[in-house]
Chains A and B, each alone.
Chain A
Amino acid sequence: MSEQGFRYLNKAAPRTEDFRLLTGYGRYLDDIEIPGALHVCFVRSPHAHARIVSIDATEALSMSGVVAVVTGRELQQWTKPLRIAPPIEGLLAVETETMPVEIARFQGDPVACVVATDRYLAEDAAERVQVEFEPLSAVTDMWQALEPGAPQVDPMVRGNLVSHQTFAHGNPQDVAGTAFRVVEATFTQQRQTHVPIETRGCAAVWDAGRHHLTFHIGTQVPHPLRTQLADRLRLNEFQVTVISPDVGGSFGQKIALYREELTVAALARHLNRPVRWREDRLENLTAAANSREDFCRTRAAVDEHGRLLSLELEMREDFGAYCFFPANYLARVVAMILTGPYRVQDYSFDVKIALSNKCGTAPMRAPMSMTSWVMDGTIDAIARELKLDPVDVRRRNLIARDELPYRTPTGEVLADITPTETFEAVLKAVDYEGFRVRQREARTLGRHLGIGFCVVVEPTTYGSRFYKAAGIPGSGHEASWIRIEPSGVVNASVGLGPSGQGYESAMATAVAEGLGVDPTSVYIHLGHTDIAPYGMGSRGARSATAGGGALYLCAQQARRKVLAIAAGWLNVADDILRLNDARVERRNGEEWLDSGVALTDVAQRAYMDPTALPDGLTPGLEFHFAYDPPAMTYSNSTHACEIEFDADTGHIRIARYVIAEDCGTLLNPTVVEGQQHGAVAMGLSGALFEQVIYDETGQNLTGSLADYLIASATDLPNLEIIPMHTPNRTTAAGIKGMAEGGVMGALGALTNAVNDALSHFGAVADRHPLSPMFLHGLIRRKL
């Protein structure tokens, strides 16, 4: 039994989904055979901004295997446009056609769709679709986009300013006016993209007899997608089934219903033939979704000891040309949680979101990724300017245990988090004092070591009360059902959409724990909307808390009925019974003894002999439960990164990377470790290598994996993880969730380590990627 008395939770275990994935028998979208399916290929704008003057598909239509060519005009008739207009102050409404009719807004914008008997032929025909464009001026820089006279990206968004939000708590400017020092720092994060190894794709099958659409698509949100799809196609929700198969990664890219997928669905219905699409890598890198192009400036007022008195944030984000999500949605989180584990009440933010003629934005694993880099980078800037030790500055400003629960200036309540504990643990693990000695010695030999810290508070799970309080429509609940079969095995389901996080194993464990059976006797159904209950799906890091929580509570509900039936059977009170390993046990003093009744016996009675059930109990053992988690749940961690900087080449070698983490109750520690590795990897990869690059005319220069660089096995260190988990006192089973904090910590810890090394040269790296050329350039000027 673990500390909290769990039998199965908090226990490392290998995953149950591995066999098929290891042997090549996984079932990803392209593996699904659909006889007679047609294949599509999109014709895309080569211009960043252009009027679509005419589209002539005559030649294409005459080619071998081509069945149809459609444009935005046909789709206007078959579908509704997307309207994003949540009632949020400072956010402008936007409406997007299914495929542009008048104007293409970025290089890669789809303007026509070719349908053919195979993809090779579709690509041949796509080359022959004659599109006449009238190029227009494009704007590709978010600062220029907000200047008067800049080209308009969206006629509904004047001046390209799609969202502007401000906030103030207390009086940060006044405080800054009288403070000992005001430290300013800037942080520029580059445009990135998700790069799941499996690109987007879908397959639509229209049943003309039943007027029903079956839509196969890898998605994180099966039910919300189905609701949107039905609405946009003007179908009833019972006319659409969404089935998500095995998904080769998503990281936030496979949430929105994009235009290509909607086009495929509409085509299947219109042509009355199955239609499928596989996005190729060029499309995925240039036309799926981008993320993270952000700028932050902080002004921190401090006393002579580096204590934070007030903080002001100015933030700008480039949202691209199209909004598939409310434009304020991603940057808002950064602004709201910026202060994180640090004590400060006088705080303000000013966040502007601009449109530009580039690919639209979708949240990418840790959409608030730069938060901790900005906050801990600000702390380090304070230390630098006041010539204080960055560890001391943190110790002075970190919220102490006895200050919890702590209400942040934006009204978030921090509770059940352990930032100081994880910070001290990491300091000890890296032997901080020892490092400084080594650093000094190394400098005498012309070697430049650096150490960086980042204290992360990760919001993982948003409950419905959060959305309500923020004035955002939407729900934070998750739904589950459990059916105990006559044989005693368990079928269960939850509304999540997996993309590699091991839900089949982890969620089975949640059921096992709540019910009292071994996890191997539980099977979790996922991704099929005829089967799964209506939940909000997977996003952020909500799956364990909301999904695991829903299943755990549902399983407890199931256990209560099982024990009530057993109590009636055994003629005892149900409070002396428990279910353990699918057997009913009764308490005898301090011991538990087998009662002779197994779960399968109870199940048989429930299904086959219901008149024998106690009064008031209905037949069968099927349960449904919807769980709305608390308004906000957090996990936390501290990251420490040790690097060596080669001043001759600008190269960074990561010598050591340590994380102390508190993720609450863990459904499966093995899965959690994998998630931490993956999150840190994505953060380090982003900080070092990745960048979507557009030139001044809006041409995307990073359309292949040889140009858009992702970290490989030789670029990443082995992570040392110190577990320091403490339960959350208000969530189901004390679960906190995790999976994005690693990105946040990596960006901060690595950058702070680099700046620690660069301090010798009086240089500061304030932007990503930390390329060798950039870093070398910084010190070259100082040499």
Chain B
Amino acid sequence: MKPAVFSYHRPTTLADALTLLEEYQLDAKVIAGGQSLVPMMNMRFAQPAHLIDLNALPELSGVRRSSDMLEIGAMMRHHELATDPLVRACCPLLAEAAATIGHYAIRQRGTLGGSLAHADPAAQLPLIASTLDARIEVVGSDGSREMPAAEFLISVMTTALQPEEIIRHVRFPCKRPSEGHAFELFSRRHGDFAIASCAVSVVLAGGTFAHLRIGLGGVGDVPLVLDDLAALYAGRGADASAVAELAAHAAAAIEPHEHREISVGYRRDLVKTLTQRALVRAIRRASEDF
């Protein structure tokens, strides 16, 4: 399957890239890692007249810590997210999830910005960004704006990005002291998109919940973050019965579409299992960190 004809542009500055986007708008697509876009183009599902390559832009790379946030350039590769010492130290949940994306070769090329902009409901990075309430900075010729992940991810493969905008960087909150985390996913085969996934971030105080966020992926149009739980479970003992309750709560909270092979009932049971497993691991980590 060969792609349709397109004009290729390889800007070397962000300003040039934005000028091109301003000019071509919906006739253009940006290419970062290409691991999702190129298959679609090769199959002619996507036929942009202009392809704007972001790989030569220096402004989109790098990772730095700025107070209690980790600012990661949009072009950071999945492989780098999984192995970079700063990411692993400050944002271990992100590193753990990134290591599970696709396969080794895919991770060499795929990018943080690309994954977020693609907004596949089952993907790891949109889930982590949502669970951690990351801030996504997008930039256009007119200027930049920053928004929380929940605002950025609108629906299946649909984000708040305007045709003339790209993601510049994403800021993740650094993990709190004694924060435990865990990421669980279930798929048919290793490396496949998740049928369902669960990301947990928890802080304990004297064995009770002081902070709790549970995010679920693959369960709807966008990741579902159960952000009311923190208040509900604040001060409760992080024990087996609480975990079971939370898992049941998560299973009941999702509203997945009926799928040919995957029933709603199955997905609920799976979410319950994954949430249970993630909570147990996260709580254990939070306790060990003391």
Contact = CB atoms under 8 A, between A and B. Distances in A.
A776 interface: yes
Interface string A624-651: 0000000000000000000000001111
Contacts, number: 56
Contacts of B270: 648-649
B273 A715 contact: no
B265 A771 contact: no
B264 to A, nearest CB: 11
Interface in A119-143: 119-120, 123-124, 127
A771 B186 CA distance: 12
A673 to B, nearest CB: 25
B188 to A, nearest CB: 6
Interface string A692-727: 010000000100101001011011000000000000
Interface stretch (B1-9, B73-81, B125-133, B161-169): B1-9
B263 A777 contact: yes
Interface residues of A, number: 28
A648 B273 contact: yes
A780 B269 contact: yes
B43 interface: yes
Contacts of B4: 124
Nearest to A713: B190
A123 B189 contact: no
Main secondary structure of the interface of B (DSSP, over half): loop
Given A709-B188, A715-B190, A123 B273 contact: no
A712 B189 contact: yes
Given A124-B5, A282-B43, A648 B190 contact: no
A649 B186 contact: yes
Contacts of A649: 186, 270, 273
A650 B2 CA distance: 38
A712 B43 contact: no
Given A282-B1, A649-B273, A715 B189 contact: yes
A407 B273 CA distance: 53
Contacts of A651: 186
Given A123-B2, A124-B4, A714-B190, A773 B273 contact: no
Nearest to B191: A712
Interface in A258-311: 280-282
A773 B262 contact: yes
A689 interface: yes
A486 interface: no
B232 to A, nearest CB: 25
Contact of B190 (A127, A704, A712): A712
Interface string B176-214: 000000000010111110010000000000000000000
Contact of A280 (B1, B39, B265): B1
Contacts of A709: 188-189, 192
Contacts of A648: 269-270, 273
Given A124-B4, A281-B1, A773 B263 contact: yes
Contact of A771 (B5, B39, B188, B190): B188
Given A280-B1, A771-B261, A777 B189 contact: no
A706 B186 CA distance: 16
B261 A704 contact: no
Interface in B241-290: 260-263, 265-266, 269-270, 273
A378 B262 CA distance: 29
Nearest to B2: A120
A734 interface: no
A772 B194 CA distance: 13
A124 B273 CA distance: 48
Nearest to B196: A649
B256 to A, nearest CB: 13
Nearest to B272: A648
A689 B188 contact: yes
Nearest to A650: B266
Contacts of A777: 263, 265-266
Contacts of B266: 650, 773, 776-777, 780
Contacts of A712: 189-191
A782 to B, nearest CB: 14
Contact of A704 (B43, B186, B195, B263): B43
A710 to B, nearest CB: 9
A711 B265 contact: no
A570 B248 CA distance: 92
A650 B261 CA distance: 13
A711 B192 CA distance: 11
A693 B259 CA distance: 13
Interface-centre pick from B190, B263, B269 (highest chain A CB count, 10 A): B269
Contacts of B265: 777, 780
A689 B192 CA distance: 12
A704 B43 CA distance: 10
Contacts of B186: 649, 651, 772
Contact of A711 (B43, B189, B260): B189
A66 B173 CA distance: 57
A356 to B, nearest CB: 19
A704 B1 CA distance: 11
B178 to A, nearest CB: 29
Contacts of B261: 771, 773
A659 B269 CA distance: 36
A123 B191 CA distance: 31
Contacts of A704: 39, 43
Contacts of B43: 282, 704
Interface in B134-188: 186, 188
Interface in A730-783: 771-773, 776-777, 780
Contacts of A650: 266
A127 B43 CA distance: 12
A773 B260 CA distance: 11
Contacts of A772: 186, 188, 195
B268 to A, nearest CB: 10
Nearest to A693: B260
Nearest to A121: B2
B7 to A, nearest CB: 15
B81 to A, nearest CB: 21
A773 to B, nearest CB: 5
A314 B200 CA distance: 52
A119 B2 CA distance: 8
A166 B1 CA distance: 45
Contacts of B191: 712, 714
Given A282-B43, A648-B273, A773-B266, A714 B1 contact: no
A361 to B, nearest CB: 23
A198 B2 CA distance: 17
Given A123-B1, A714-B190, 5 more contacts: A651-B186, A689-B189, A701-B260, A706-B39, A777-B263
Interface of B: 1-2, 4-5, 39, 43-44, 186, 188-192, 195, 260-263, 265-266, 269-270, 273
23 contacts: A123-B2, A127-B44, A280-B1, A282-B1, A282-B43, A648-B269, A651-B186, A701-B260, A706-B39, A709-B192, A711-B189, A712-B190, A714-B190, A714-B191, A715-B190, A772-B188, A773-B262, A773-B263, A773-B266, A776-B266, A777-B263, A777-B266, A780-B266
Closest 7 CB pairs of A and B: A714-B190, A648-B273, A120-B2, A280-B1, A773-B266, A123-B2, A773-B262
